[in-house]
Structure 1
């Protein structure tokens, strides 16, 4: 695996219950966060549907299921006034959540995927919203 690749999903290593717990526990933290919470509360209209969508997304990433239907990049690009600090805070809360789940294999896999996604979304956000500026990497070090 290179520094910029996503690990292969492993359907036998993680349960749907673990994926669901990851999603619900993460958003419980994110919704309380002073920087992230207001953004989520303003833009997520139906939390039940969002939980289903995010559980499907993370199940696809971690377990290889094929239920996820969506395009995350355009939705994130459309959000006003995002910055690198918000993406880093999202990732910090995500990694805190994976640690608390107690499955080190899931933690390593999910954290690698989340780091990759945060970096890609930040680059896409910059390229779309600041086309005249050189995009910056979210992390100076390799993932």
Structure 2
């Protein structure tokens, strides 16, 4: 008997690769125009936006569909950006939630938003530890 493949949490919510693509591309189009986040992303990504968007599609596919496509170290990347903090994570989450609700059906949007909050909290905690800062109460809504 062959074991059945593990299904990611996104399958039950109706998440598809196409939906992930639409969300990632719509979200980062807004991030790039945002006066708080845009300059930070532009400095970090430069001209490699196509590569970044592909990597983020792979990331969300791996998180929600268990595709295993993502290969990367998000914590190390974010720790290496000295000028990000709680206000940036909160703005990122605010935009992400709005775009997810615009692009995805409600159940899928809720899944994307819930995962994004957990990821933001984890990244912010990891950054605080690396910077030897006490983790404050200014975490984004998690």
Which TM-score applies when normalising by structure 1? 0.86
User: CA–CA distance in 2 between the matches of 1:94 and 1:78?
Assistant: 22
User: CA–CA distance in 2 between the matches of 1:119 and 1:102?
Assistant: 23
Paired residues of 1:9 and 1:60 also in contact (CA < 8 A): no
User: CA–CA distance in 2 between the matches of 1:71 and 1:115?
Assistant: 18
Larger radius of gyration: 2
Paired residues of 1:98 and 1:107 also in contact (CA < 8 A): yes
CA deviations over 1:74-114 (Å, ceiling 9, x no partner): 00001012111110000000001101014111111000100
Which region of structure 1 is more displaced relative to structure 2, 90-99 or 57-66? 57-66
Unaligned runs of 5+ in 1: 1-7
Paired residues of 2:23 and 2:99 also in contact (CA < 8 A): yes
RMSD over aligned CA atoms reads 1.4
Deviating 4+ runs (over 3 angstroms) = none
Match of 2:45 in 1: 44
Which TM-score applies when normalising by structure 2? 0.87
User: CA–CA distance in 1 between the matches of 2:36 and 2:104?
Assistant: 26
Match of 2:88 in 1: 86
